[in-house]
Structure 1
Amino acid sequence: MTDEELKARFLYPNGTLRNKLNLQDTGELRTVEYRTTAHNAVWLLEHGYVIKGIDDFAKIHRFLFSGIYDWAGQFRNYYLAKGGTDFMPPTAFDTAVTNITRQLDTIKTTAKPTVKQYAQLLDSLNYLHPFREGNGRTTRLFIQLLATNHRQCIDYNRQDHEVITALNQSDLAKLEKFIKVTEIDDRQAAFQQAARKCLLDIQKEEH
Structure 2
Amino acid sequence: MDKYGTGQDPYCYPETHILRNRLGIQDDALLAQAERDLSEIAASQIDFSLPPYDLAYLKHIHHTLFLDVYDWAGDLRTIDISKGSTRFCNVSRIEPEADKIFRAMAQQAWFEDWERPQLVCAMAEHFGDLNMIHPFREGNGRAQRILFEHIIVNVGFEISWWAVEASEWIDANVAAVVCDYRPLEAVFERCIGQRIGD
Q: Give TM-score scaled by structure 2 length.
A: 0.82
Which residue of structure 1 lines up, in the alignment, with residue 79 of structure 2?
78
Cα 1:60–1:51, aligned 2, differ >3 Å: closer, same or farther? farther
1:123 aligns with 2:128: yes
1:4 aligns with 2:7: yes
Which residue of structure 2 lines up, in the alignment, with residue 185 of structure 1?
197
Alpha-carbon distance in 1 for matches of 2:186, 2:86 = 22
> How big is each residue's C-alpha offset from its partner over 1:152-195, in whole Å with a ceiling of 9 and x where there is no partner?
22233323223322212212111011113221029xxxxxxxxx
Alpha-carbon distance in 2 for matches of 1:164, 1:109 = 25
Which residue of structure 2 lines up, in the alignment, with residue 169 of structure 1?
175
Q: For residue 169 of structure 1, give the secondary structure of its aligned residue in structure 2.
A: helix
Q: For residue 81 of structure 1, give the secondary structure of its aligned residue in structure 2.
A: strand
* Cα pair 2:51 2:110 within 8 Å, conserved: no
1:158 aligns with 2:164: yes
1:112 aligns with 2:121: no
* Cα pair 2:101 2:129 within 8 Å, conserved: yes
Q: Give TM-score scaled by structure 1 length.
A: 0.79
* Cα pair 1:12 1:18 within 8 Å, conserved: no
Shift of 1:14: 4.0
Identity %: 27
Which residue of structure 2 lines up, in the alignment, with residue 192 of structure 1?
none
Structure 1: which 5+ runs fail to align? Answer: 187-207
Q: For residue 24 of structure 1, give the secondary structure of its aligned residue in structure 2.
A: coil
Alpha-carbon distance in 2 for matches of 1:31, 1:51 = 32
More relative contact order, 1 or 2 (CA 8 Å, 6+ apart): 1
Shift of 1:32: 1.2
* Cα pair 2:58 2:143 within 8 Å, conserved: yes
Which structure is higher in helix share? Answer: 1
* Cα pair 1:87 1:129 within 8 Å, conserved: yes
> How big is each residue's C-alpha offset from its partner over 1:102-136, in whole Å with a ceiling of 9 and x where there is no partner?
23212525223611111112111100001111011
CA RMSD of aligned residues (A): 2.2
Q: For residue 80 of structure 2, give the secondary structure of its aligned residue in structure 1.
A: coil
Alpha-carbon distance in 2 for matches of 1:109, 1:116 = 11
Cα 1:67–1:50, aligned 2, differ >3 Å: closer, same or farther? farther
* Cα pair 1:107 1:117 within 8 Å, conserved: no
What are the within-5 Å matches in structure 2 for residues 1-207 of structure 1?
3-5=6-8, 7-44=9-46, 47-54=47-54, 55-105=56-106, 106-108=108-110, 110-112=112-114, 114-156=119-161, 157-170=163-176, 171-179=180-188, 180-182=191-193, 183-185=195-197
Q: For residue 23 of structure 2, give the secondary structure of its aligned residue in structure 1.
A: coil
Matched length: 183
* Cα pair 1:88 1:128 within 8 Å, conserved: yes
Structure 2: which 5+ runs fail to align? Answer: none
Alpha-carbon distance in 1 for matches of 2:82, 2:73 = 18
